[in-house]
C-alpha cells in the first residue's frame, strides 16, 4: 500500500496527472478538429448541392412548363376563334402528345369565360392558381404556390393575342413540382438526403426511418419558424425524426413573396457521431494504459533521484536536531543539482551550528504573534545596506494590508484576529519559500511587507501579487470559526533612470527603504479606495488623490461640526392607497468651495475614517425628530426610512443609540424604518441577524435595500427578520421591453407578497413603468415619476399633491 502523505506519492501523482491531462486534452482536441472539419465539409457540399436541387426541382420544371404552354397557345388561339369539336379534338391531341411532364390542368379563358378546361387534379389546385393577382397580361408568368394540404405546384399564365397584338384570352396551366423522382435523383448524384416540403409537410423525400419513407411527416417547429415563418435560409445542425443531421433548408416563395414550402438537403451524422464516440472510448482506454505504463517508470525514477535523497536529508535533520552532527560525514552523492543544493545548505547550517556562528534572532527583531521579522529588523537590515549595490539592493516592496481585520476583532475577539494573522503569516512564508530573494515582515497590526532584492521582472512582480490574492480566496478555520478575509496590496519598485534624470546615471536616484514603503502604502490605500482585494503599482498621481482624500476627510469633520450637511427626503407612494405614506432620508453636502459632493464619495470616506458612526447617529436623530414634528403639525402618519451602514449596525452600541433617539424624540417605533443592504450579512450573518431581530421585536420596520444587485437570494426573504424588500432601480429601467426584467420583478413581487413582506420598487420614472407595477400589484414605488429628493422646506408641497 502507498502512503498518500509522502512527497514521493504526491510528486508521482502530480507528474502522472499532468501527462495524462496533456495526452487526454491532445486526443480530444484532435478529435474535435477532425470532426469540425468534417462537419464544415458536409455543410459546404450541402450548400453547393442546394442550387442544383433548386434547378432540378423548380427551374427545370419551369422550362418544361413554359415550353409546353408556348406550344399550347396556337391551338388555344384557334379554339377561341372557332370553337367546335374539331378544334377541341386537335387541342386535346396536342395536350396528350406533348404532356410528358404530368400536367395537372389546362384552362383556356376568353371573353371573360372558360373556353376549355382539362382537369386531372383536385379543383382546389386550379382555384389556387386563379387567385394570383400579380399576373402580367402581356408576358408569360410562372410562379410557385401551394400548401401542406394540396402540395407544391408550378403555374403558368400565358396571354393569347390576335394578329393585332391584342389579348383575346389566357392559357392557365398547372404542374406538380414535388415528385419522388427529383429527390431520388439528387440523392443518387450527391449522396445527400433530399426533401421537398409543401408548407411544413414532406411531400417528396428520401429520408427513411425503420425502412419506411417519411413522406407526410412535418418539419421541426424551430426550423419551420425560421424558414416558413421568417422566410430565411437555415444552414447547420438539426435533429430530424430523432436523428442528428447537417442540413440546409431553403424556402420556396409564391408570387406574393410568402414562403409556401422549402427545399431540404442534408446528411445524417448518426454513423459519424457513433464512430466519434467509439474513438473517444478507445482513446480513453489508451490514455489509461499509458498512465499505468508511465507510472512504473516515474516511480523508479522518483525514488532514485528525488524522494530517497530527500528522505536521507530529513532523517539527517532529525539526527542533527538531537545534537548529533556526525551523520553528515556519510552524506551520499547527490544525483541532481537541486539535491546537491539542499545538501550543501544543510552542511552550511551544521557548520554554523557547530562553530556557534549562527545566533538566534533577538526578540526585539521578531514579531511575537507571527514569528516573522518585524519593522525594526526591516529598517536595521536595509538602512545598513547601500541601495546602490545591485546584487543585494532593495528593488521591490509589497505593502499588504489585511482587509476588515478590525471588524473581525470586534466580532470574534482579538484571539481569533491573532490566530488569523498567524495563519496568514504562515501562508505567505510558505508561498515565498521557493523564492529566497523575497523576505516577509510584519510591520504593524494588520500590515505586512514583502521585500525583494536584486534585479526583477515586471511580469513576475504582478504575477506574485495575483498569486498572493488567490491563496486568500479560501477561508481560514480558527477556533472552529470560518473566517474569510482578503488583502489589499500596494507595490513600489526602484528603477534606474538610465541617464534620463542624470547626465551619467549613478543610480543614486533610487529610492531608499523609507520612500519605497511610503509609495507602496499609497498604492495600497488606492486599492482600499477602489474596493479592496486587489493590487496596484505605485503611480505619482496617487499622492494627489491621497491628499484630496485626507483634505476631504478634514472638511467632512468640519462640515459635521459646522452643520453644513443637509437632509433631503424622497417620498414613497402607496399604489394601493393611492397616496404618499412615507419618505426616505438622504444626506446631501454642498461644500462651500468644492460645490456639491456626491454622497457615495463622502459616505465612503466617513466609513473608512469611522466618522460614519457620528454621521449616522446625526442622520437618524434628525430624521426621527423631523418626521415626529411633521406628523404632529400636519396631522399625518408618515413613516421615515433611514439608511444604516454595515459599520453602524455592527457597532456594539447601535441598539442603545436607536432606542435612545426614539425615546428623546418621542417617535413611535412603527414610524421608523431602517434600511440595510445585503453586505451586512456578508460580514457577519449571525450578529446582523440578532440585531435586526431585536429591532423588529421593538416594532421597528426593517427594509432590505438594493435587492438583486449583489448576492441576494430569495431565501433571504423568508429567513431574515425584515418587513420590506426594496427592488433595485436596475430591474425597472427596462421593464417595459425586457421580458427577463419583467419576469424577475413579477416573481419577486409575488414571492414577497406571499410571505407577507411589503415590496417597494425604486427608480420609477415613466408612466409605462408605473402601469406595469400597478398590474403586478406592487405595494409601493419610489422615483422621479412622483418626486426627486427634496429639502424639508419643499416637502409639504410635494406631499400635498396626494392625500
* pLDDT tops 60 at residue 728: yes
Q: Each residue of 438-489: pLDDT tens digit?
A: 899 998 888 999 998 877 888 888 899 999 999 888 888 888 778 888 899 9
**180-190 and 7-54 helices cross at what angle (nearest 10)?**
130
Predicted local confidence at residue 623, as pLDDT:
95
Predicted local confidence at residue 55, as pLDDT:
86
Number of helices and strands in the chain (H, E): 25, 29
Predicted local confidence at residue 32, as pLDDT:
79
Predicted local confidence at residue 681, as pLDDT:
64
Q: Each residue of 405-425: pLDDT tens digit?
A: 777 776 677 788 888 899 999
Q: Each residue of 275-302: pLDDT tens digit?
A: 888 888 887 787 778 777 777 777 777 6
| Domain locations along the chain | 18-268, 275-355, 363-539, 567-799
CB 621 within 8 A of CB 628: no
> How would residue 561 be classed by pLDDT, with cut points 50, 70 and 90?
confident
Check whether domain 18-268 has CATH 3.30.450.40, yes or no:
yes
Window from 40-44, 139-143, 339-343 with minimum mean pLDDT = 339-343
CB 449 within 8 A of CB 370: no
> How would residue 358 be classed by pLDDT, with cut points 50, 70 and 90?
very low
Window from 360-364, 499-503, 538-542 with minimum mean pLDDT = 499-503
Predicted local confidence at residue 572, as pLDDT:
94
> How would residue 361 be classed by pLDDT, with cut points 50, 70 and 90?
very low
Predicted local confidence at residue 707, as pLDDT:
79
**85-98 and 60-81 helices cross at what angle (nearest 10)?**
170
Predicted local confidence at residue 709, as pLDDT:
64
Distance, in Å, from the CA atom of 87 to the CA atom of 75, rounded to the nearest integer, reads 7
* pLDDT tops 90 at residue 45: no
**Average pLDDT, integer, range 252-276:** 88
> How would residue 338 be classed by pLDDT, with cut points 50, 70 and 90?
low
Predicted local confidence at residue 666, as pLDDT:
95
247 beta partners: 236, 266
Predicted local confidence at residue 498, as pLDDT:
47
Window from 624-628, 630-634, 702-706 with minimum mean pLDDT = 702-706
* pLDDT tops 90 at residue 639: yes
Predicted local confidence at residue 288, as pLDDT:
77
Predicted local confidence at residue 328, as pLDDT:
65
**Average pLDDT, integer, range 44-52:** 86
- 79 versus 235: the higher-pLDDT residue is 235
Q: Do domains 18-268 and 567-799 have the same CATH topology?
A: no
CA dihedral over 59, 60, 61, 66, signed as positive or negative = positive
Window from 207-211, 532-536, 714-718 with minimum mean pLDDT = 714-718
CB 407 within 8 A of CB 457: no
**Percentage of the chain surpassing pLDDT 90?**
26
Predicted local confidence at residue 633, as pLDDT:
93
Q: In the CATH scheme, what is the code of domain 567-799? A: 3.20.20.450
Predicted local confidence at residue 772, as pLDDT:
92
Report the b/e string of 568-586 with b at 16+ CB within 10 A: bbbbbbbbeeeebbbbbbb
**Average pLDDT, integer, range 230-234:** 91
Instruction: Tell me the backbone φ, ψ of residue 636, rounded to 5 degrees.
Output: -115, 175
Q: Each residue of 65-74: pLDDT tens digit?
A: 888 888 888 7
Distance, in Å, from the CA atom of 790 to the CA atom of 585, rounded to the nearest integer, reads 10
Q: Each residue of 579-622: pLDDT tens digit?
A: 999 999 999 998 888 888 888 888 888 887 778 899 999 999 99
CB 173 within 8 A of CB 158: yes
**Average pLDDT, integer, range 700-706:** 90
Q: Each residue of 750-766: pLDDT tens digit?
A: 988 988 899 999 999 99
> How would residue 499 be classed by pLDDT, with cut points 50, 70 and 90?
very low
> 287, exposed or middle or buried, with CB in 10 Å at 0-12, 13-18, 19+?
middle
* pLDDT tops 80 at residue 348: no
* pLDDT tops 60 at residue 213: yes
Q: Which CATH number fits domain 363-539: 3.40.50.2300, 3.30.70.270, 1.10.3720.10, 3.30.70.980?
A: 3.30.70.270
Residues in the chain: 803
* pLDDT tops 70 at residue 716: no
Instruction: Tell me the backbone φ, ψ of residue 269, rounded to 5 degrees.
Output: -105, 10
Mean pLDDT, the chain, whole residue set: 83
- 694 versus 529: the higher-pLDDT residue is 694
Amino acid at each position: 500500500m502507498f502512503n498518500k502523505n509522502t512527497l514521493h506519492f504526491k510528486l508521482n501523482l502530480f507528474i502522472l496527472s499532468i501527462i495524462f491531462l496533456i495526452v487526454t486534452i491532445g486526443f480530444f482536441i484532435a478529435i474535435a478538429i477532425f470532426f469540425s472539419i468534417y462537419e464544415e465539409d458536409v455543410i459546404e457540399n450541402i450548400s453547393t448541392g442546394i442550387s442544383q436541387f433548386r434547378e432540378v426541382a423548380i427551374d427545370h420544371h419551369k422550362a418544361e412548363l413554359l415550353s409546353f404552354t408556348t406550344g399550347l397557345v396556337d391551338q388555344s388561339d384557334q379554339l377561341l376563334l372557332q370553337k367546335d369539336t374539331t378544334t377541341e379534338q386537335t387541342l386535346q391531341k396536342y395536350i396528350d402528345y406533348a404532356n410528358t411532364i404530368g400536367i395537372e390542368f389546362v384552362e383556356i379563358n376568353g371573353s371573360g369565360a372558360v373556353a376549355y378546361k382539362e382537369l386531372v387534379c383536385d379543383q382546389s389546385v386550379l382555384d389556387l392558381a386563379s387567385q394570383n393577382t400579380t399576373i402580367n397580361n402581356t408576358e408569360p408568368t410562372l410562379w410557385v404556390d401551394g400548401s401542406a394540404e394540396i402540395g407544391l405546384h408550378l403555374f403558368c399564365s400565358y396571354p393569347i393575342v390576335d394578329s393585332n397584338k391584342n389579348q383575346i384570352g389566357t392559357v392557365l396551366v398547372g404542374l406538380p413540382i414535388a415528385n419522388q423522382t427529383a429527390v431520388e435523383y439528387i440523392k443518387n448524384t450527391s449522396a445527400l438526403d433530399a426533401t421537398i416540403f409543401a408548407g411544413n409537410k414532406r411531400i417528396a423525400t428520401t429520408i427513411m426511418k425503420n425502412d419506411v419513407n417519411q413522406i407526410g411527416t412535418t418539419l421541426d417547429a424551430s426550423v419551420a419558424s425560421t424558414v416558413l415563418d421568417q422566410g430565411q435560409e437555415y444552414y447547420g445542425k438539426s435533429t430530424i425524426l430523432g436523428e442528428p443531421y447537417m442540413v440546409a433548408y431553403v424556402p420556396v416563395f409564391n408570387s406574393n413573396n410568402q414562403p409556401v414550402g422549402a427545399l431540404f438537403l442534408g446528411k445524417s451524422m448518426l454513423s459519424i457521431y457513433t464512430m466519434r464516440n467509439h474513438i473517444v472510448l478507445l482513446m480513453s482506454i489508451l490514455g489509461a494504459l499509458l498512465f499505468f505504463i508511465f507510472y512504473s517508470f516515474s516511480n523508479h525514477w522518483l525514488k532514485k533521484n528525488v524522494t530517497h535523497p530527500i528522505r536521507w536529508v530529513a532523517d539527517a535533520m532529525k539526527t542533527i536536531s538531537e545534537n548529533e552532527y556526525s551523520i553528515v560525514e556519510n552524506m551520499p552523492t547527490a544525483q541532481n543539482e537541486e539535491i546537491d543544493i539542499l545538501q550543501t545548505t544543510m552542511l552550511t547550517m551544521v557548520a554554523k551550528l557547530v562553530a556557534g556562528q549562527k545566533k538566534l534572532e533577538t526578540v526585539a527583531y521578531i514579531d511575537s504573534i507571527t514569528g516573522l521579522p518585524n519593522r525594526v529588523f526591516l529598517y536595521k537590515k536595509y538602512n545598513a545596506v547601500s541601495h546602490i549595490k545591485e546584487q543585494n539592493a532593495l528593488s521591490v516592496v509589497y505593502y499588504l494590508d489585511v482587509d476588515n481585520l478590525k471588524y473581525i476583532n470586534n466580532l470574534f475577539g482579538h484571539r481569533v484576529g491573532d490566530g488569523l494573522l498567524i495563519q496568514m503569516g504562515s501562508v505567505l512564508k510558505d508561498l515565498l519559500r521557493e523564492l529566497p530573494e523575497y523576505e516577509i515582515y510584519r510591520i504593524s497590526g494588520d500590515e505586512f511587507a514583502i521585500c525583494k532584492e536584486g534585479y526583477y521582472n515586471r511580469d513576475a512582480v504582478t504575477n506574485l501579487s495575483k498569486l498572493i490574492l488567490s491563496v486568500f480566496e479560501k477561508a481560514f478555520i480558527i477556533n472552529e470559526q470560518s473566517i474569510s478575509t482578503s488583502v489589499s496590496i500596494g507595490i513600489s519598485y526602484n528603477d534606474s533612470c538610465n541617464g534620463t534624470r542624470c547626465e551619467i546615471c549613478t543610480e543614486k536616484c533610487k529610492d531608499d527603504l523609507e520612500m519605497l514603503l511610503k509609495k507602496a502604502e499609497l498604492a495600497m490605500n488606492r486599492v482600499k479606495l477602489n474596493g479592496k482585494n486587489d493590487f496596484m503599482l505605485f503611480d505619482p498621481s496617487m499622492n494627489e488623490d491621497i491628499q484630496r482624500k485626507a483634505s476631504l476627510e478634514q472638511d467632512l469633520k468640519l462640515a459635521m461640526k459646522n452643520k453644513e450637511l443637509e437632509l433631503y427626503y424622497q417620498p414613497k407612494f402607496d399604489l394601493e392607497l393611492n397616496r404618499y405614506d412615507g419618505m426616505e432620508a438622504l444626506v446631501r453636502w454642498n461644500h462651500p468651495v468644492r460645490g456639491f459632493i456626491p454622497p457615495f464619495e463622502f459616505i465612503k470616506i466617513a466609513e473608512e475614517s469611522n466618522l460614519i458612526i457620528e454621521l449616522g447617529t446625526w442622520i437618524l436623530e434628525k430624521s426621527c425628530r423631523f418626521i415626529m414634528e411633521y406628523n404632529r403639525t400636519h396631522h399625518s402618519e408618515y413613516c421615515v426610512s433611514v439608511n444604516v451602514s454595515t459599520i453602524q449596525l455592527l457597532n456594539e452600541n447601535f441598539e442603545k443609540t436607536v432606542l435612545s433617539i426614539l425615546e428623546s424624540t418621542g417617535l413611535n417605533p412603527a414610524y421608523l424604518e431602517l434600511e440595510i443592504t445585503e453586505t451586512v450579512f456578508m460580514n457577519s450573518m449571525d450578529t446582523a441577524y440578532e440585531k435586526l431581530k431585536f429591532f423588529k421585536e421593538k416594532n421597528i420596520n426593517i427594509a432590505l435595500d438594493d435587492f438583486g444587485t449583489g448576492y441576494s437570494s430569495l431565501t433571504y426573504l423568508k429567513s431574515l427578520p425584515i418587513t420590506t424588500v426594496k427592488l433595485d432601480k436596475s430591474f425597472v429601467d427596462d421593464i417595459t421591453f425586457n421580458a427577463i426584467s419583467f419576469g424577475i420583478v413579477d416573481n419577486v413581487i409575488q414571492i414577497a407578497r406571499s410571505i407577507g413582506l411589503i415590496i417597494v420598487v425604486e427608480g420609477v420614472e415613466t408612466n409605462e413603468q408605473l402601469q406595469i407595477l400597478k398590474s403586478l400589484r406592487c405595494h409601493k414605488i419610489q422615483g422621479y415619476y412622483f418626486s426627486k429628493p427634496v429639502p424639508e422646506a419643499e416637502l409639504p408641497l410635494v406631499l400635498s399633491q396626494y392625500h
